[in-house]
Chain A
C-alpha cells in the first residue's frame, strides 16, 4: 500500500492561555461564582486550558451588558452594523488557519474538515448576513422590521464555531445583542471569537460569551431579561428549554436531533451514492444533527451497494485530527463515546449485523471505528434513536412508496437524501419527505443562503437564508 507520511498541521499557530475568563461587556473577566472547568483535547485527553464556569451572577452581568449595548447597537443604521460584520468575516478569514487548528484541537474533528468546511462556512455566514443588515426592509418581513432585544444562545459541541456563526451573524445583522454559551467540551473557539470581536472593535456588550455546563445554559435560558432564546442541541434539552420558556413571551427557535433517511434507488449513480453515504454519516465522526444515519437502499441493489460501501469504508483514515490526511477524528468526549458504545451494543443484541473495517484505534483519547449495521428494521432501536456517532444503520425497501413511508416513520425530520438518476423521481420523493432539508444526489451540503431547520422533534424555526432573519425580528 502507498502509505502517506504523517502530515500534521502545526499547532504552534495557536497560542493557548492556561486559563480563560468570561467575555462580558468587551472584556475578559473571571467568574465571580461557579469556579472553573477544564477543556481537553479528545484525541489525546491532554488538558488544553482551564475555563471559567459562569454562575447566575455572571449570567446576570452578561445579560445586563447585552441590554445596555442593545440600545446603541439597534439604533445604528444597518449599513453601519454591516461594516462590523464584514470586518469580523474578514478577520475570521485572516485568522482561519489559527481557528481551524484550535477547533480541531478542542473538538477532535479532522483539520481537513475544520479547514475546508467549517472555517469557510463560518466566514461565509458573516459575509452573508452582513449583506442583509442594510436590506432588512426588503426581506419580506414588513417595511420596518425591528430587532427583538437580547438573545440568549446555547450551542452544541459538534460545530462549535459554525454554530456560533449561525447564531451570532443573523442576530447582530438584525440589531440584536447576544449572550452566547458554547458547549462545555468545546469553549475555546468561542473565546477566540471574543478576541475577534475586540479586534473588529465591536462595541462592548454586543457579543458576550459565558462558558459553563448545562446549569449555565439553564440560567441563561431562564433569565427574565432575555427576549429570545436560540438553541441547537439534543431534543431532550430542547424539550426542557421549551418548558422553561413557555408562557414567558420569549421567542424561541430550536434546532434539535435527527435520524435522517438517505434513500438510494436502484438507478442511482452507485459510486457517487457511496461517497454520499460516507459523507452523510462519517463526516465529523457522525456528530452531525442532520447526519444520514439511516440508509434506505432498494433491495435490488442492496448487496452491490453494501459491498462498495464496505470497500470504501476500508479506505477511511482514522487518527490524529491535525494530520491533513485524516478522514475520521476523535469522538468529542468520554461521555459521548460511552453513549455510542452503549447504543451500538444494543444494536448487536437486537440482532443487527455489525461491521467495521480493520481499523487501529489510538491508545489515548476517545475513538470509535466507523461502523455499519445491516439487517436493521424500523423496530430496532438503532433505527429510531439518534446515535450521534460514526454508526450507520442500513435498511432496505422495495418500492418508492415504501421508501417514503419508512423515511417519514421517525420522530425526527431534519434532513433526508435521495439518490436516483431520474429527475422526476427526485422531485416526487422530495416533495413527500417530511424533513427540513432534502439533498438530491448529494449530502451534508451547507450554504448560508439556504435555510436549515426541522420538522417534528427536530425543532422549529429556521436558520440561514432570508428565513433565518425572521427568528431575530419582532
Chain B
C-alpha cells in the first residue's frame, strides 16, 4: 500500500466493493446530456488547441518501423507545417522497441515520450517480463509508461495481484509517469470501472487510462465520466491528483470536445491541461487540424492539405 492509502491490503476487496455504485442508465444519460453542449467560435478555437496539446499521438502496429516512428515524431513536434502557431502534441506513444528511435527524434522538443510496456496489449506475461519491458523502455528514454492491468486477475477477484503488479511497475518506472490501462471494455460494468480506477490510484498510478485500443469497446463518454468522478473523489479523500486518458476510437473534433466538456463540468479547471488529461489517439489529430484551419480560414481544406502521419 502506498503512503497515501490508509487501508490494509486485506481490506482491499471490501473497500472496493464499498464504493458507491454506478447506475448504468443514469451515467449514460448524464454523458449524453453533456454531449449536447454547444461549443462554437472562440470557445471552439480554444478547445481545439487544448485538445491538440492533449493528444498522445500513437502508433502501435506490428508493422511499425523506425521510419514510421520518426515521421510520427516530426508530426507531433509540428502538427501543422503551414501554421507555426499550432501547438505540439503532448506525447508520442510507441512500443518499447521503438523508444530509442523516438527518443532521438524528439530530443529537445518538449514532447513527452510514452511507451506501452508490460506485455501490451494483453498483459498476459510473467511479472518479470513486464518489469523488464518497463525498465528497458525507461532506460531508452521513455518518460511515460502506459501499463496494462491483468484483467484476468481483476475479474477473478484477485485484486491484490493487480495491486502488487502496479506497485512493482511503478517502482520499475523510476521517475517516469505511470499510466495504468484498465481496458474498461473487458471490465464490462461501470462498477468494475470505478473499482479498477480506485485500485490503480491506490497502487500509485499517475494516470488512469481506459483502453489499449485493441478491443471492441474502447473509450466511451460514460466510462470516462465514471473515471473522472473517481479521480475527483480520490483527490478529495487523499489529496493526490491523478490524470485521466481515454484512448481508442476518438476520431474527430466533435468527440474530443465532448470529452473536454465532460472534464469541465465534472472535475473542472484543474484537469483541463495536458498534465492531467490526454487523448490516446492516432487519427484524431488530423481532424483537429482540419477544424482548426476551418476556424481561421472559414473553409474546409481537403485531406491532402494535412500530413499523412
Contacts and interface: CB of A to CB of B under 8 A. Distances in A.
Interface residues of B, number: 30
A325 B264 contact: no
Contacts of A272: 22-23, 26-27, 30
B299 interface: no
Contact of A5 (B20, B27, B41): B41
B38 A4 contact: yes
A462 B157 CA distance: 49
Contact of A2 (B21, B38, B40, B272): B272
B255 interface: no
Contacts of A3: 43
B37 interface: yes
Interface string A255-270: 0000000000001111
A112 B34 CA distance: 11
A365 B220 CA distance: 40
B309 interface: no
A438 B234 CA distance: 33
Interface string B42-54: 1110110010000
B304 interface: no
Interface in B236-287: 260-261, 263-265, 268-269, 272
Q: Is the interface of B mostly helix, strand, loop or mixed?
A: helix
A4 B272 CA distance: 14
B21 A421 contact: yes
A267 B23 CA distance: 12
A269 B43 contact: no
Interface in A442-463: 442
Contact of B20 (A269, A276, A442): A269
Contact of A441 (B25, B41, B265): B25
Contact of B22 (A112, A267, A269): A269
B36 interface: yes
Contacts of A1: 264, 268-269
A399 interface: no
Interface string A262-285: 000001111110011000000000
B20 A325 contact: no
B44 A325 contact: no
Contacts of B44: 5
Residue among B20, B29, B42 with the most chain A CB within 10 A?
Answer: B20
Given A4-B39, A421-B21, A269 B268 contact: no
Contacts of B272: 2
Contacts of B42: 5
B229 interface: yes
B20 A271 contact: yes
Contact of B260 (A2, A275, A442): A2
A2 B47 contact: yes
B26 A4 contact: no
Nearest to A422: B21
A38 B15 CA distance: 61
B294 to A, nearest CB: 16
Interface residues of A, number: 22
A7 B39 CA distance: 8
Given A2-B264, A5-B40, A269 B21 contact: yes
Contacts of B41: 5
Nearest to B18: A267
A189 B202 CA distance: 55
A4 B37 contact: yes
B38 A324 contact: yes
Interface centre among A1, A4, A441, A442 (most CB of B within 10 A): A4
A324 to B, nearest CB: 4
B30 A275 contact: yes
Contacts of A112: 36
A441 B264 contact: no
Given A5-B40, A325-B37, A441 B260 contact: no
A7 B38 contact: yes
- Residue from the set A1, A2, A267, A269 with the largest chain B CB neighbour count within 10 Å: A2
Interface string A1-31: 1111101000000000000000000000000
Nearest to B26: A272
A116 B36 contact: yes
Interface in A121-166: none
A357 B29 CA distance: 24
A275 B261 CA distance: 16
B26 A325 contact: no
A2 B43 CA distance: 7
Contacts of A271: 20, 22, 26-27, 30, 229
A244 interface: no
A1 B40 CA distance: 16
A315 interface: yes
A5 B45 CA distance: 10
A268 B268 CA distance: 24
Given A7-B38, A270-B20, A441 B43 contact: no
B168 to A, nearest CB: 32
A442 B264 contact: no
A227 B27 CA distance: 47
Contacts of B229: 271
Contacts of B25: 441-442
Contact of A325 (B38, B268, B269): B38
Q: Which of A272, A315, A421 lies at the interface centre, i.e. has the most chain B CB atoms within 10 A of its CB?
A: A272
A333 to B, nearest CB: 28
A3 B265 CA distance: 11
Interface in B161-209: none
A60 B27 CA distance: 52
Interface string B1-26: 00000000000000000001111011
A3 B39 CA distance: 9
Contact of B23 (A116, A269, A315, A324): A269
B50 to A, nearest CB: 8
B16 to A, nearest CB: 15
Interface of A: 1-5, 7, 112, 116, 267-272, 275-276, 315, 324-325, 421, 441-442
Given A5-B43, A269-B23, A271-B22, 6 more contacts: A4-B43, A116-B36, A268-B21, A271-B26, A272-B23, A276-B26
14 contacts: A1-B268, A1-B269, A2-B47, A2-B269, A4-B39, A112-B36, A267-B21, A268-B20, A271-B26, A271-B30, A276-B26, A324-B38, A441-B25, A442-B25
**For the complex of A and B, 8 pairs with smallest distance between CB atoms:** A272-B26, A7-B38, A269-B23, A272-B23, A324-B38, A5-B43, A270-B20, A421-B21
